[in-house]
């Protein structure tokens, strides 16, 4: 494939290329990304896509989604739904997410590893997936939705463990089920009925046990649901890879995160787009409104401090298929559009350990591309509207194309 007449924002931090060309090979890898005059010759039957001056960017990565759940629906509804129908609904959410420009996504609880396999084998179309399968937490904590009668309306999203030995067994079970990332709860949360965001979750000792058990089995990222300050500090001291949410990320926590090189995934969409009194339990709505101002203040400071911020939306809590609105929220808190784009491309790929293949447009990497109307470096809101995502290419395969100009074969 050859893409011509493109403004290229390659995700590396280099200046955009105004009259750019992208060339891919038969394996769906990038051969050339740069000026038209430097592009290699292509075969006469090469598929040529004229993007007419639009912007070509790396495919985006959402590091925090819940594709097994629907936004606007109570978690307690899950048990009453037909599993087969829910599988097809999940496939639809995967498609909607891909069409929004997300070519890779990390599901942090509720999505079996089989969906990753289904995408990889081409059985369904969606983002390339990493999944945590379930979430490790303690009894009564953020991962425990058990009612007083003993019923779990979440369908088993939580992996309950209450001491260092139990968390090691929990890690082993999740790895056996194909987890790409281990997620633990270092604090309580907004949507859980039994606790508060400032409550502590797993102890430092238990978090260290998780990290060590993952190391013993080949190593994978460890993501910590961490909202209140004490739990954030516990998670960082315990050696996690990323802090998810980070609402209480005060000056001490920011300094420690910077020293340790810990990633922060702020999920601002849950604060800006995810508060709806009509669809939320009263306890959930109260927590969200109480914490929204604190979140914006602390994440703004994290941006100013230069922490390693990767894009995540918490889609399901926020709407599916509007993932790149997260970039708009990051910019509203002081991040430049260029750096905001990097959170969802280069930095996100580094967090997932995929930066050798995706995250930037460079020769030899996978041809994961997004074609956007206009110039998002000048107006980041263009990416926030999925109708401006005109073309999505994944490993060299066109998954979405709403360009008015038809692709044609040229000599």
pLDDT in tens, 347-370: 999 999 999 999 999 999 999 999
> pLDDT: is 155 or 17 the higher one?
17
CA angle 166, 167, 170 (to 5 degrees): 90
pLDDT in tens, 181-228: 999 999 999 877 778 899 999 999 999 999 999 999 999 999 999 999
Q: Are 331 and 387 in contact (CB under 8 A)?
A: no
Residues 41 and 69 in one domain: no
Question: How buried is residue 259: exposed, middle or buried, by Cβ count under 10 Å (0-12/13-18/19+)?
Answer: exposed
Residue that is last in its domain, among 352, 374, 390: 352
Residues 310 and 384 in one domain: no
Residue 405 has pLDDT above 60, yes or no: no
Residues 225 and 259 in one domain: yes
Residue 411 has pLDDT above 80, yes or no: no
Task: Tell me what pLDDT residue 275 has.
Answer: 77
Residue 287 has pLDDT above 90, yes or no: no
Residues 341 and 255 in one domain: yes
Residue 297 has pLDDT above 70, yes or no: yes
CATH of the domain at 300: 3.20.20.140
> pLDDT: is 77 or 230 the higher one?
230
CATH of the domain at 46: 2.30.40.10
Residues 90 and 201 in one domain: yes
Instruction: Work out whether the CA dihedral 120, 123, 129, 133 comes out positive or negative.
Output: negative
Nearest Cα neighbor of 182 from 215, 138, 139, 227 is: 215
Residues 97 and 225 in one domain: yes
Average pLDDT, the chain: 93
Nearest Cα neighbor of 393 from 96, 76, 56 is: 56
Question: How buried is residue 161: exposed, middle or buried, by Cβ count under 10 Å (0-12/13-18/19+)?
Answer: buried
pLDDT in tens, 105-123: 999 999 999 999 999 999 9
Residues 112 and 44 in one domain: no
The model's confidence at residue 74, banded by pLDDT at 50, 70 and 90, is low
Q: 23 is in which domain, residue-wise?
A: 2-58+360-409
Task: Tell me what pLDDT residue 409 has.
Answer: 37
Residues 222 and 205 in one domain: yes
Residues 187 and 254 in one domain: yes
Residues 29 and 151 in one domain: no
Residues 193 and 82 in one domain: yes
State the average pLDDT over residues 145-151.
Answer: 78
Residue that is last in its domain, among 324, 352, 380: 352
Task: Tell me what pLDDT residue 165 has.
Answer: 97
Give the number of domains in the chain. 2
State the average pLDDT over residues 288-299.
Answer: 91
Question: How buried is residue 88: exposed, middle or buried, by Cβ count under 10 Å (0-12/13-18/19+)?
Answer: exposed
Residue that is last in its domain, among 312, 332, 352: 352
Task: Tell me what pLDDT residue 80 has.
Answer: 65
**d(C-alpha 201, C-alpha 136), whole Å:** 10
Residues 267 and 124 in one domain: yes
Dihedral over alpha carbons 63, 87, 118, 27 (to 10 degrees): -70
The SS3 of residue 62 is strand
């Amino acid at each position: 494939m050859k893409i011509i007449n493109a403004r290229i924002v390659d995700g590396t931090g280099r200046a955009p290329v105004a009259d750019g060309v992208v060339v891919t090979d038969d394996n769906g890898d990038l051969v050339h990304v740069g000026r038209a005059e430097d592009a290699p010759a292509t075969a006469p039957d090469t598929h040529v896509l004229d993007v007419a001056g639009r912007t070509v960017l790396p495919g985006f990565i959402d590091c925090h989604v819940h594709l097994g759940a629907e936004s606007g629906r109570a978690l307690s509804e899950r048990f009453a739904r037909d599993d087969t129908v829910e599988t097809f609904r999940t496939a639809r959410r995967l498609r909607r997410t891909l069409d929004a420009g997300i070519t890779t996504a990390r599901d942090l609880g509720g999505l079996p590893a089989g969906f990753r396999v289904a995408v990889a084998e081409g059985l369904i179309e969606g983002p390339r997936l990493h999944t945590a399968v379930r979430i490790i937490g303690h009894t009564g904590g953020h991962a425990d939705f058990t009612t007083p009668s003993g019923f779990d309306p979440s369908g088993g999203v939580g992996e309950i463990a209450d001491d260092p030995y139990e968390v090691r067994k929990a890690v082993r079970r999740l790895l056996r089920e194909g987890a790409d990332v281990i997620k633990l709860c270092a604090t309580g949360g907004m949507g859980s009925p039994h606790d508060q965001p400032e409550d502590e979750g797993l102890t430092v000792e238990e978090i260290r046990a998780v990290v060590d058990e993952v190391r013993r089995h080949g190593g994978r990222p460890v993501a910590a649901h961490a909202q209140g300050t004490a739990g954030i500090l516990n998670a960082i001291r315990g050696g996690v890879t990323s802090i998810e949410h980070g609402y209480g990320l005060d000056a001490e926590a920011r300094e420690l995160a910077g020293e340790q090189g810990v990633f922060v995934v702020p999920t601002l969409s849950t604060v800006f787009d995810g508060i709806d009194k009509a669809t939320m339990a009263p306890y959930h709505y109260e927590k969200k409104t109480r914490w929204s101002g604190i979140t914006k203040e602390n994440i703004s400071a994290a941006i100013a401090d230069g922490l390693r911020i990767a894009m995540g939306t918490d889609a399901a809590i926020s709407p599916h298929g509007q993932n790149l609105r997260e970039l708009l929220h990051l910019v509203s808190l002081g991040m430049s559009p260029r750096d905001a784009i990097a959170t969802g491309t280069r930095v996100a790929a580094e967090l997932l350990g995929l930066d050798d293949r995706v995250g930037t447009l460079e020769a030899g990497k996978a041809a994961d591309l997004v074609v956007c109307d206009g110039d998002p470096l000048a107006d980041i809101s263009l990416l926030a509207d999925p109708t401006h995502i005109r073309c999505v290419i994944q490993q060299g395969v066109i998954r979405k194309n709403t360009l008015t100009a038809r692709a044609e074969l040229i000599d």
